[in-house]
Structure 1
Amino acid sequence: MTSQLTEKQKATLWQQRRAASYQASCRLAGFTVNEAVITAEQAEERLASLRRQYGG
C-alpha cells in the first residue's frame, strides 16, 4: 500500500528538487554556488534578533 504525500511534504520535495536543479544549472554555466552554512545557535540568535526588531 502506497501512502500519499502531504501538501507540506510535496512542497518540501519540490523545493529540494528546485534547489538541486538550480545548482546543476549554475555548474553547467560555470558558476560556483556557495551555500550559506550557519549553526543552529547562529540561526536562533538571528531569529531572536529579528523578533526583537520587528516585535514578533
Structure 2
Amino acid sequence: MANKLTEKQKVTLWQQRRSASYQASCKLEGFALNETSLNSEDAAARLASLRRQYGL
C-alpha cells in the first residue's frame, strides 16, 4: 500500500505542478521566462533592502 502524503508534501507537489503548467503555458504562448538564481547572500541582501524600503 502506498504511503499517504503529508500536507506539506501535497503543497510542494501542487506548487511544482502549478509551476510546470505555467511554464508550459508561457512556452505555448511564445513568452520567454527568465529564471532568477540568487545565492543566499544576495537573497538576504535583497530582503534587507526591501524591509528598509517598506519599513518592516
TM-score (norm 2): 0.76
CA shift, 1:46, in A, is: 3.0
Query: Mind listing any 5+ residue stretches in structure 1 that lack a counterpart?
Result: none
Please provide the CA RMSD for this pair: 1.7
The match for 1:4 is: 4
How many equivalent pairs are there? 52
The match for 2:31 is: 31
TM-score (norm 1): 0.76
Instruction: Give the 4+ runs in structure 1 shifted more than 4 A.
Output: none
Using the aligned pairs only, state the percent identity: 60
